[in-house]
Amino acid sequence: MKIATLILGMGFACSLSAFAGGELRYGVEAEYPPFESRNSAGELEGFDIDLGNAVCKAAELKCSWVEGAFDALIPGLAAKKFDAINSAMNITDQRRKSIDFTQPIYRIPSQLVGKNGSAVQATADGLKGKTIGVLQGSIQETYAKAHWEPKGVTVVSYKDQNMAWADLLNGRIDASLVMSAAGQAGFLSKPQGKGFGFIGAPVVDDAILGSRIGFGLRKGDEATKRQLDAAIDKIRADGTITRLAAKYFPGIDVSVK
């Protein structure tokens, strides 16, 4: 009887938290404002940072952050360097082959950014002979290589988005395909973004781009999924996600349909 009670008690304790020491370790690529970046004091900030902290609070966990290049996040998760990817990662069928995800949390469309008045158009024919910059390891890179590169478009991949913006300014590339919120907050709303804007409508391919963003999880990690999904439900119900979206993405509907 005592052994049975002990086993039940251990099972209950394990069900309370999937994380050792009550600490949730997020993997993040911190060069993609307004989702995640470092401020002048060297502190992490952005929508995903505030979102991650809110999830930790709702789950009664401590947060910590492990930084890496975006294309290194999935390998880092598999190697158990952290517990969840929190870096504006869209849920796609291709990624589901390697990792699992929490429930969808928000959505952001992908759009081309280029010089106002240029001849660039957000189509394969309109980009023929042009050079497009994308974030290395991103779904925008996959989209551009699948839809545009075979039609004569040069696709250049960058370790972080700031490098793409620098090359757009100096004319090394003609446009960059990014999440619209990252294009607006990370470039267009800044002084160097003067004279640039969005080109055409958002691109669409649900198979490649997905349509919703969640936290990436290790395959089969059901305990973490249950705990984080419950916390996401809480912060959606109390309006936290809506408030954060209004702060970082004014005018953009990020609700999951």
Q: What is the pLDDT of residue 20?
A: 65
Q: What is the pLDDT of residue 126?
A: 93
Quote the CA–CA distance of 79 and 110 in Å, as a whole number.
Answer: 29
Backbone dihedral angles phi then psi of residue 170, each to the nearest 5 degrees: -90, 5
Quote the CA–CA distance of 28 and 44 in Å, as a whole number.
Answer: 10
Quote the CA–CA distance of 75 and 53 in Å, as a whole number.
Answer: 23
Distance spanning both ends of the chain, measured CA to CA: 50
CATH class of residue range 110-209: alpha beta
Per-residue pLDDT of the chain (257 residues; tens, 9 = 90+): 444 444 444 443 334 456 767 999 999 999 888 999 999 999 999 999 999 999 999 999 999 999 999 999 999 999 999 999 999 999 999 999 999 999 999 999 999 999 998 888 899 999 999 999 999 999 999 999 999 999 999 999 999 899 999 999 999 999 999 999 889 988 999 999 999 999 999 999 988 988 699 999 999 999 999 999 999 999 999 999 999 999 999 878 888 87
Q: What is the pLDDT of residue 60?
A: 96
In CATH, the architecture of 15-107+211-248 is 3-Layer(aba) Sandwich (3.40)
Backbone dihedral angles phi then psi of residue 5, each to the nearest 5 degrees: -65, -40
Q: What is the pLDDT of residue 84?
A: 98
* SS3 per residue for the chain: CHHHHHHHHHHHHHHHCCCHHHEEEEEECCCECCCEEECCCCCEECHHHHHHHHHHHHHCCEEEEEECCHHHHHHHHHCCCCCEECCCCECCHHHHCCCEECCCCECCCEEEEEECCCCCCCCHHHHCCCEEEEECCCHHHHHHHHHHHHHCCEEEEECCHHHHHHHHHCCCCCEEEEEHHHHHHHHHCCHHHCCEEEEEEEECCHHHHCCCECCEECCCCHHHHHHHHHHHHHHHHCCHHHHHHHHHCCCCCCCCC
Strand-pairing partners, residue 154, are: 131
Strand-pairing partners, residue 62, are: 23
Query: Where exactly are the structural domains of the chain?
Result: 15-107+211-248, 110-209
Quote the CA–CA distance of 73 and 60 in Å, as a whole number.
Answer: 25
Quote the CA–CA distance of 78 and 83 in Å, as a whole number.
Answer: 9
* Alpha-carbon distance values, 86 to 14, 152, 212, 227 (Å): 23, 34, 13, 15
